[in-house]
Amino acid sequence: MTHDFYMNLAIDEAWKYQFLTYPNPAVGCVILDKNGKILSIEAHKKAGKAHAELEAVSIALQKLNPNLNLPKNPNDLHEFICKNHQNLFKDAIAYVSLEPCNHQGKTPPCAKLFSELGFKKVFIAIEDEHQIASGGAKFLKQNGIEVQIGICKQRAKDLLKPFLKWQKSSFKFFKLALSLNGSAYGKIVSSNASRSYVHAVRSKLDLLVIGGETIRHDRPILDARLAQAKAPNLCILSHQNLDEFDKTIPLFGVPNRKIFSSIPNEAKFVMYEGGENFLKAFKDEMDMFLIFSSSNLNTFENVKLDMKLKPLYKGFLENDTYGIYEKY
């Protein structure tokens, strides 16, 4: 198979965790043994957890040695693997969507990991331009590892866009849940898996932005219970004064939740949720759109507005399809 094939596996895996790695970038990694057999297809899953490279190596090692008791903490894991790899990665090949980091952050440098384990080749989709983390490719080459940069470059650029935007200023995206025939109405539109993903994303947000119409109509709680995680702070954009809302609406009862009436400057990672009118009002400010489509048709009106979207990624969550789109 081609290098593109393996890099696409790495990039697709990373997209599955897009938005969940905030403030880190989404990164994927595929590892092949010296004979070209796939050992693992993994991604960075959460800030503070193992980087994609360490995750992929540790999952591969665990598969090859089911009895190994791997430590959870990334620093301990890195150290453990460097001592217990049994040369299983001698002459191995890695495909990484982003240049492996070369600095000791919350986790040890991934470039060093590949070097210590005896990797032969590392394919990188795109260079890391982050001042502190960069230099991984250079380090790998200095340590005799063959490096090739630029496989699936455009897809890797797309994958990094949210990260680059929230690092520079702020990243805003709109979440919309539709039936297959384009309606945002009806009881629960999306699958459990889609709703769990949205709840997991909510728990990572600096801010969830909603409109007064949704609040009055749906009386939502807007928490992250399906991910068993922290409910996001809210910003309510409404002509109605915050004080005048019915405080028995569940979202007002979430403990320790801050509720704003305008978007604070420090909010870097912001999701808007709503229907047709809210989308029309804010679509021009959005960096991206997260749109779910179920597999069901119903008899409700559809969302009507002209918007041409470019999918950066599409995936499936149970019977739903979801896309992460930019505007053309």
List contacts with a second copy (CB under 8 A). Answer: 1, 32-33, 35-41, 178-183, 291, 293, 295-311, 314, 316, 319, 321, 323, 325
Which tokens hold the place of 194? 């889609």
Q: Is 164 helix (H, G, I), strand (E, B) or coil?
A: helix
Q: Are strands 93-96 and 28-32 parallel, antiparallel or unpaired?
A: antiparallel
Distance CA 195, CA 99 (A): 32
- CB-wise, 26 or 303, nearer to a second copy? 303
Distance CA 84, CA 69 (A): 11
- CB-wise, 30 or 77, nearer to a second copy? 30
CB 38 → a second copy: shortest distance, Å?
A: 5
DSSP conformational letter for 134: -
* Residues with Cβ within 8 Å of residue 99, at least 6 apart in sequence: 124, 126, 127, 128, 134, 136, 137, 149
Active site residue 53: yes
Cβ–Cβ < 8 Å for 63, 52: no
Strand order in the sheet with 320-327: 259-260, 234-237, 207-211, 269-273, 171-178, 288-293, 320-327
CB 210 → a second copy: shortest distance, Å?
A: 20
Q: Are strands 121-124 and 146-149 parallel, antiparallel or unpaired?
A: parallel
Strand order in the sheet with 28-32: 28-32, 93-96, 121-124, 146-149
- Cα pseudo-dihedral 117, 120, 125, 127, rounded to 10: 70
Which tokens hold the place of 76? 């301990």
Amino acid at 141: K
- CB-wise, 101 or 324, nearer to a second copy? 324
- CB-wise, 79 or 301, nearer to a second copy? 301
- CB-wise, 12 or 223, nearer to a second copy? 12
- CB-wise, 5 or 138, nearer to a second copy? 5
Q: Is 267 helix (H, G, I), strand (E, B) or coil?
A: coil
Distance CA 314, CA 292 (A): 10
CB 279 → a second copy: shortest distance, Å?
A: 9
Catalytic residue among 13, 53, 55, 99: 53
The residues annotated as belonging to the active site are: 53
